[in-house]
């Protein structure tokens, strides 16, 4: 079986070595041995990392991704994938409403946005949490999104 050292995996995938070590610690990937101080991986790790990247982009947590892997190959839990697709549909609807509100605010001819009935309606929905997800108001989404980006960087 062909092996790739950690530097070659980094070169092929763009995934930093620290992330590879973290994924290994979480059980998402496994090294096959060492060459000196460098970890070795099977060539299948490249495909596995692509799946991890795909699932991360879809919004799965690392713990959820771990559930999608059987010991020897990916195991697609169709119910879990369907639930995530539903979650993405909800988020897409929320983002469309926010996008439309921003576009309206940018083009609105009212002397002040606070005088615009459409903007005030959007504002009322934001305050009530109707534009948020999981019962959170829109203003809470910005900090949650920022925290998510910071966690992914780490």
Integer CA distances (angstroms), 132 to 22, 51, 97, 127, in order: 32, 29, 10, 9
98 pLDDT exceeds 90? no
Pick one of 1.10.1660.10, 3.40.50.1000, 3.30.420.40, 1.10.940.10 as the CATH number of 3-67. 1.10.1660.10
Output the pLDDT for position 72.
64
Write the pLDDT tens digit of every residue in 112-124. Answer: 888 888 888 877 7
Write the pLDDT tens digit of every residue in 118-154. Answer: 888 877 777 776 665 444 444 444 444 444 444 444 4
Average pLDDT over residues 71-99: 85
Question: What residues have CB less than 8 Å from 114, skipping those under 6 apart?
Answer: 120
Write the pLDDT tens digit of every residue in 66-83. Answer: 888 866 667 778 898 899
Output the pLDDT for position 40.
95
The domain locations on the chain are 3-67, 79-153
125 vs 130: CA distance, rounded Å: 5
Q: Which long-range contacts (CB under 8 A, 24 or more apart) does 37-41 make?
A: 38/5, 38/6, 38/7, 39/5, 39/6, 40/3, 40/4, 40/5, 40/6, 41/3, 41/4, 41/5, 41/6, 41/9
Contact 3, 41 (CB under 8 A): yes
Which sign, positive or negative, has the C-alpha torsion 29, 34, 20, 13? negative
pTM of the complete model beyond 0.75: no
Write the pLDDT tens digit of every residue in 16-35. Answer: 999 999 999 999 999 999 99
């Amino acid at each position: 079986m062909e092996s790739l050292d950690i530097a070659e995996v980094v070169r092929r995938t763009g995934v930093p070595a620290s992330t590879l070590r973290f994924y290994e610690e979480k059980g998402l990937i496994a090294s096959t041995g060492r060459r000196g101080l460098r970890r070795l991986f099977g060539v299948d790790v490249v495909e596995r990392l692509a799946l991890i990247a795909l699932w991360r982009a879809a919004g799965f947590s690392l713990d959820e991704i771990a559930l999608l892997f059987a010991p020897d190959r990916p195991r697609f839990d169709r119910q879990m994938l369907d639930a995530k697709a539903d979650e993405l549909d909800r988020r897409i609807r929320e983002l469309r409403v926010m996008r439309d509100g921003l576009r309206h605010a940018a083009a609105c001819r009212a002397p002040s946005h606070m005088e615009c009935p459409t903007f005030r309606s959007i504002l009322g929905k934001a305050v009530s949490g109707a534009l948020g997800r999981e019962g959170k108001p829109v203003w809470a989404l910005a900090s949650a999104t920022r925290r998510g980006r910071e966690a992914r960087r780490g």
